[in-house]
């Protein structure tokens, strides 16, 4: 639709923009600015936005040249964007020529964007000429509006440095003078600003009034909300107090009922008593409830269950059938017990040969001894000998394959290996070809899938491919006193060097040959050759006999760490397939059933001690034995780690907070031992050793507080020649970062004279020993009534007589907030389950000592807590050291494992009425 031009003529566009596509970004911004601009009223022009044609956005028609001709004819002005790119464009030249032919050269407006005017370009700048040839043909000397330096990413065509060019362009478009256009436009802008300011002021006034009203309403709402919140908090506090009182009353009542149940003789009542103790703690933790749990938990300490009382001859071999129904034991007779009935054990005829007891996988057969001094198979159907096996006397090891089709046996002393086909009871011919490799076999074991047969003796460990009928692997790992596959077949326990068994991961390579990879997590002790090794049915535990004391070591297959040591003087062992525990045969013929996972106080035997120390997390136990030597043990398995000879008379031990150092203190000496290798790194003797030792919280500094000096030892560079800090102090404190030391000096007073020296706090640089600040507490001292009205002594001297403080004021002000350093004899962790006192003022630490004394059978001679407060070590006259978990959570978990059940419905109603029942112990272990 045609638009009236400023001169009254009718045209389609006010301007046609001719440009190169390389200048598109500028042209787009220019087009936007022109289309948004309206002529001021004072110019007498139509009040409308300018019509601008740009071929990329406004093109219509199907034929380019016809469309260009039409749009050029309908445009009043032609704006030519001049640049080197426009000069090189044939389209720009064509548009200029067409427009000049239609409207004349006077309607052409050059705009210089880049480059230089043609008449200013020298011979070396020809490529920078910006005016197109057609423009120069139409205008002999084009006067271009300059937009040189325009940046399309940040500049606007009508603002900032281009305002003059903008008004010049508008003046050319409107055929008016620049001054007229600029003056009228700026006058309009000022008028708009005034109107806008007035509108803004009015709006602000209205908003201010609204804000005042809103604030008043908000203040009232806040007041009402705060009042409601105050009432809610008060109501919640009242409910909390009432709930605490209710819970406290319930806890007290439950403890009373627990005491009553504890007095009953039945085991069920003991369990009920302990469950009520736990419910008391759940209702509300109190020192009384924790102490009561400590007093009663060991009443349910469950010794191993006796499966067979002592008979005299040793229990040499034990065996369970795979389904757990039959349990066989070998002493002077072979006894077989049906575990599913209460009938007495069946006694087979007295053996005259030693044969390990082994059930076949289907429980049809029991390999054992016969009266005729040979091995034989007993039928479990009628417990009669079904077949004799001549040549199998004095067996040391035997095993059935998983499918029961094969039986492997090894004679004691070697030279008697057999592999029998159970159906025909004939030795397999293929393995007889390897007679030389079978001479020294002492132990045999089948893999759970029946593919591999492992044999080991004094010469080598071999894996035989049973299905492929060949020797698959031979390796020399040491003597074979133990051999067993894990239930999943992934681990193999085998004999090792110096009779120390090892564990290897079992795998298969690409060719199908087996591979054994030593598992370094397992560091096992020397094994006892008469005690076989066994994995628990779930594969979680490994049991083997230890040669030193013939005890049974229980090892976690998940971590490789020994978790407990049970049953000294043991011989045969066998895991109950139903998970009931580990059966152990003893020298005296008795058989006991142990639950290896049941926690109890860890024990270090033959370790009488006069001083104890635990590192931070209870991993290491240090003690002073009867000879005065310092001995260190691993707390997890009582394994000795070190024995350090120190000067006689060691009276105290202490680990540094970080566990890196062990302090040994005696009457006339002080030694420091490095926990990394258990060697002595510092020795102090004489007067210097008498200082009361303490550690900074970060463990960096060891401080010895003497009578007039404080010795400091940097743990990063131990030296017995460290220079002391000359100060008389009765207490020490350290900054949290371990950089500064604060000493407190007590006041000095002379009767009839007055205060001769006030109490003072001094701050020292631990690294250099230099004084940094001091503070006098004279004012606080003089407030004490004992000084009366004497005040400061007249002849008093010192810096404190001139000022109240000196040095670094910030350090002086911070020092009173630093934690006090406690001496070795004061190191009791600040944990509620240790330091809290009951209503009679008795701390829980005393209850820990009572429990330990009962276990030791006498008073505790030495004790120590770990720095984290989780473990408690005790020693007594029974020559043992015991390690106790003391956290409430640990005690509750231990109690639940001992109890093995929750309150029955009748018991719950008896104690809790209609309250919905809940599980006191989340997952109780069934009692046995």
pLDDT value of position 598? 44
The answer to whether 255 and 276 have CB atoms below 8 angstroms apart is yes
- The Cα 784–Cα 775 span in angstroms is 18
- What strands lie across the sheet with 317-320, from one edge to the other? 317-320, 326-330, 334-338, 346-347
End-to-end CA gap in the chain: 102
The answer to whether 489 and 448 have CB atoms below 8 angstroms apart is yes
pLDDT value of position 600? 53
pLDDT value of position 28? 93
Residue 382: exposed, middle, or buried by beta-carbon count in 10 A (0-12, 13-18, 19+)? exposed
Select the more confidently predicted residue: 347 or 567. 347
- The Cα 259–Cα 271 span in angstroms is 12
- The Cα 521–Cα 863 span in angstroms is 32
- The Cα 373–Cα 390 span in angstroms is 9
pLDDT value of position 234? 92
- The Cα 550–Cα 568 span in angstroms is 6
DSSP state of 665: E
- The Cα 597–Cα 84 span in angstroms is 90
Q: What is the pLDDT of residues 883-894, one digit of tens each?
A: 888 899 988 988
pLDDT value of position 3? 46
Q: What is the pLDDT of residues 89-133, one digit of tens each?
A: 999 999 999 999 999 999 999 999 999 998 888 888 888 999 999
Greatest mean pLDDT among 63-72, 95-104, 475-484, 845-854 lies in 95-104
Banded pLDDT at 311 (limits 50, 70, 90): low
Q: 544 in the Ramachandran plot: left (φ > 0), alpha (ψ -120 to 50) or beta?
A: beta
Q: What is the pLDDT of residues 431-467, one digit of tens each?
A: 777 776 676 788 889 999 988 998 887 778 888 888 8
Q: Does position 786 have pLDDT exceeding 60, yes or no?
A: no
Select the more confidently predicted residue: 568 or 295. 295
Select the more confidently predicted residue: 4 or 67. 67
Q: What's the full length of the chain, in residues?
A: 928
Select the more confidently predicted residue: 331 or 31. 31
List C-alpha distances in Å: 283 to 226, 251, 280, 910: 33, 6, 5, 17
Task: Kindly report which listed range (2-11, 423-432, 625-634) carries the lowest average pLDDT score.
Answer: 2-11
Please compute the mean of the pLDDT values over residues 581-592 and round it to a whole number: 82
Q: What is the pLDDT of residues 362-398, one digit of tens each?
A: 888 888 887 776 778 888 888 888 888 776 667 778 8
CA–centroid distance for 846 within its chain: 33
- The Cα 578–Cα 455 span in angstroms is 28
Q: 710 in the Ramachandran plot: left (φ > 0), alpha (ψ -120 to 50) or beta?
A: beta
Q: Does position 345 have pLDDT exceeding 80, yes or no?
A: no
Backbone φ and ψ for 292, nearest 5 degrees, come out as -65, -40
pLDDT value of position 65? 82
Select the more confidently predicted residue: 296 or 672. 672
Task: Kindly report which listed range (233-237, 797-801, 860-864) carries the lowest average pLDDT score.
Answer: 797-801
pLDDT value of position 565? 62
The answer to whether 694 and 734 have CB atoms below 8 angstroms apart is no
Over pLDDT 90: what percentage of the chain? 17
Rg (CA), the chain: 49
Select the more confidently predicted residue: 402 or 315. 402
pLDDT value of position 25? 92
Q: Does position 649 have pLDDT exceeding 70, yes or no?
A: no
pLDDT value of position 295? 84
Please compute the mean of the pLDDT values over residues 190-200 and round it to a whole number: 90
The answer to whether 730 and 746 have CB atoms below 8 angstroms apart is yes
- The Cα 728–Cα 710 span in angstroms is 8
Containing H/E element for 906?
A: helix 905-912
Q: What is the pLDDT of residues 792-833, one digit of tens each?
A: 777 777 787 788 888 888 888 888 888 888 766 556 788 888
Query: In 784-899, where do the E strands start and end?
Result: 805-807, 860-865, 871-876, 881-885
DSSP string, 501-517: -EEEEEEE-TTS-EEEE
Please compute the mean of the pLDDT values over residues 226-251 and round it to a whole number: 89
What six digits make up the tokens of 55?
A: 């071929």
- The Cα 774–Cα 760 span in angstroms is 7
pLDDT value of position 550? 73
- The Cα 163–Cα 360 span in angstroms is 105
Over pLDDT 70: what percentage of the chain? 88
Question: Closest by alpha carbon to 380, among 315, 316, 302, 328?
Answer: 328
DSSP state of 648: S
Do the bridges between strand 108-112 and strand 75-82 make them parallel or antiparallel, or are there none, so unpaired? parallel
pLDDT value of position 9? 53
Q: Cα dihedral sign for 178, 180, 185, 190?
A: positive
Do the bridges between strand 13-18 and strand 75-82 make them parallel or antiparallel, or are there none, so unpaired? parallel
Residue 367: exposed, middle, or buried by beta-carbon count in 10 A (0-12, 13-18, 19+)? buried
- The Cα 852–Cα 843 span in angstroms is 15
The answer to whether 926 and 900 have CB atoms below 8 angstroms apart is yes
Banded pLDDT at 789 (limits 50, 70, 90): low
pLDDT value of position 597? 46
pLDDT value of position 30? 92
Question: Closest by alpha carbon to 484, among 433, 428, 541?
Answer: 541
Mean pLDDT over each residue of the chain, to the nearest integer: 83
Task: Kindly report which listed range (241-250, 466-475, 591-600, 814-823) carries the lowest average pLDDT score.
Answer: 591-600
Q: Tabulate helix, strand, coil % of the chain (nearest 5).
A: 30, 30, 40
pLDDT value of position 363? 87
Q: Does position 769 have pLDDT exceeding 80, yes or no?
A: yes
- Read off the pTM: 0.48
Residue 339: exposed, middle, or buried by beta-carbon count in 10 A (0-12, 13-18, 19+)? middle
The answer to whether 753 and 790 have CB atoms below 8 angstroms apart is yes
- The Cα 251–Cα 656 span in angstroms is 39
pLDDT value of position 928? 34
């Amino acid at each position: 639709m045609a638009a009236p031009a400023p001169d009254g003529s009718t045209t389609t566009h006010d301007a046609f923009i001719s440009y190169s596509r390389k200048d598109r970004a500028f042209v787009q911004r220019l087009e936007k600015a022109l289309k948004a601009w309206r002529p001021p009223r004072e110019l007498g022009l139509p009040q409308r936005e300018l019509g601008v044609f740009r071929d990329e956005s406004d093109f219509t028609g199907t034929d380019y040249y016809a469309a260009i001709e039409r749009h050029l004819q309908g445009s009043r002005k032609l704006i030519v964007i001049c640049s080197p790119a426009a000069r090189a464009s044939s389209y720009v030249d064509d548009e200029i020529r067409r427009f000049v032919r239609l409207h004349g050269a006077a309607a052409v407006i050059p705009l210089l964007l880049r480059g230089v005017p043609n008449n200013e370009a020298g011979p070396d700048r020809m490529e920078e000429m910006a005016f197109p040839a057609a423009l120069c043909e139409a205008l002999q000397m084009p006067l271009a509006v300059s937009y040189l330096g325009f940046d399309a990413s940040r500049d606007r065509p009508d603002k900032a440095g281009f305002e003059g060019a903008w008004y010049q362009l508008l003046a050319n478009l409107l055929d008016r003078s620049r001054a007229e256009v600029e003056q009228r436009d700026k006058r309009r802008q000022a008028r708009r600003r005034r109107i806008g300011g007035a509108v803004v002021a009015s709006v602000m006034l209205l908003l201010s009034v609204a804000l005042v009203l809103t604030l008043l309403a908000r203040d009232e709402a806040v007041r009402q909300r705060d009042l409601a919140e105050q009432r809610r908090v008060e109501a919640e506090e009242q409910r909390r107090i009432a709930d605490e009182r209710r819970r406290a009353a319930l806890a007290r009542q439950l403890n009373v009922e627990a005491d009553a149940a504890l007095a009953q003789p039945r085991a069920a009542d003991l369990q009920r008593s302990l469950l009520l103790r736990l419910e008391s703690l759940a209702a509300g933790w109190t020192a009384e409830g924790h102490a009561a749990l400590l007093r009663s938990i060991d009443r349910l300490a469950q010794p191993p269950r006796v499966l067979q009382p002592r008979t005299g001859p040793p229990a040499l071999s034990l065996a369970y059938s795979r389904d757990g129904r039959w349990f066989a034991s070998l002493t002077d007779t072979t006894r077989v017990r049906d575990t599913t009935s209460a009938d007495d054990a069946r006694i087979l005829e007295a053996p005259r040969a030693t044969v390990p007891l082994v059930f076949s996988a289907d429980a049809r057969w029991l390999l054992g001894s016969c009266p005729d001094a040979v091995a034989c198979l007993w039928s479990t159907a009628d417990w009669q000998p079904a077949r004799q096996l001549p040549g199998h006397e004095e067996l040391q090891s035997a095993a059935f394959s998983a499918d029961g089709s094969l039986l492997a046996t090894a004679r004691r002393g070697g030279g008697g290996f057999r592999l029998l086909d159970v159906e025909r009871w004939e030795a397999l011919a293929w393995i007889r070809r390897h007679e030389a490799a079978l001479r020294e076999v002492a132990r045999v074991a089948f893999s759970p899938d029946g593919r591999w047969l492992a044999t080991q003796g004094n010469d080598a460990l071999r894996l035989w491919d049973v299905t492929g009928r060949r020797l698959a692997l031979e390796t020399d790992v040491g003597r074979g006193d133990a051999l067993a596959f894990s239930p999943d077949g992934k681990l193999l326990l085998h004999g090792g060097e110096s009779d120390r068994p090892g564990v290897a991961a079992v795998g298969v390579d690409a060719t199908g040959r087996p591979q054994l990879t030593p598992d370094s997590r397992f560091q096992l002790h020397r094994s006892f050759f008469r005690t076989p090794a066994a994995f628990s049915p779930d594969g979680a535990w490994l049991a083997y006999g230890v040669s030193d004391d013939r005890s049974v070591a229980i090892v976690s297959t998940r971590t490789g760490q020994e978790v407990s040591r049970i049953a000294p003087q043991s011989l045969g062992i066998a895991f109950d397939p139903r998970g009931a525990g580990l059966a152990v045969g003893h020298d005296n013929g008795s058989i006991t059933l142990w639950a290896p996972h049941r926690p109890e106080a860890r024990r270090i035997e033959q370790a009488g001690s006069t001083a104890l120390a635990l590192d931070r997390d209870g991993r290491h136990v240090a003690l002073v034995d009867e000879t005065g030597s310092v001995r260190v043990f691993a707390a997890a398995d009582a394994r000795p780690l070190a024995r350090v000879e120190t000067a006689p008379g060691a009276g105290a031990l202490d680990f540094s907070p970080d566990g890196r150092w062990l302090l040994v203190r005696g009457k006339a000496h002080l030694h420091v031992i490095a926990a990394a290798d258990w060697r002595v790194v510092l020795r102090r003797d004489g007067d210097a050793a008498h200082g009361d030792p303490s550690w900074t919280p970060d463990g960096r500094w060891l401080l010895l507080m003497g009578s007039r000096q404080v010795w400091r030892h940097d743990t990063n560079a131990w030296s017995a020649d460290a220079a002391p800090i000359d100060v008389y102090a009765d207490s020490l404190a350290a900054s949290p970062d371990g950089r500064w030391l604060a000493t407190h000096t007590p006041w000095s007073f002379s009767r009839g004279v007055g205060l001769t020296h006030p109490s003072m706090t001094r701050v020292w640089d631990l690294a250099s020993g230099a004084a940094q600040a001091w503070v006098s507490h004279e004012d606080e001292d003089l407030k004490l009534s004992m000084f009366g009205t004497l005040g400061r002594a007249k002849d008093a001297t010192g810096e404190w007589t001139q000022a109240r403080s000196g040095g670094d004021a910030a350090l002086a002000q911070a020092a009173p907030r630093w934690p006090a350093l406690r001496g070795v004899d004061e190191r009791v962790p600040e944990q509620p389950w240790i330091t809290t006192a009951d209503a009679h003022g008795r701390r829980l630490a005393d209850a820990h000592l009572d429990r330990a004394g009962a276990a030791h059978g006498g008073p505790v001679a030495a004790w120590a807590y770990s720095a984290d407060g989780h473990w408690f070590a005790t020693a007594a006259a029974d020559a043992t050291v015991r390690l106790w978990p003391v956290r409430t959570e640990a005690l509750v978990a231990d109690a639940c494992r001992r109890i093995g059940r929750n309150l029955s419905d009748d018991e719950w109603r008896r104690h809790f009425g209609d309250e919905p029942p809940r599980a006191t112990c989340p997952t109780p272990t069934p009692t046995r």
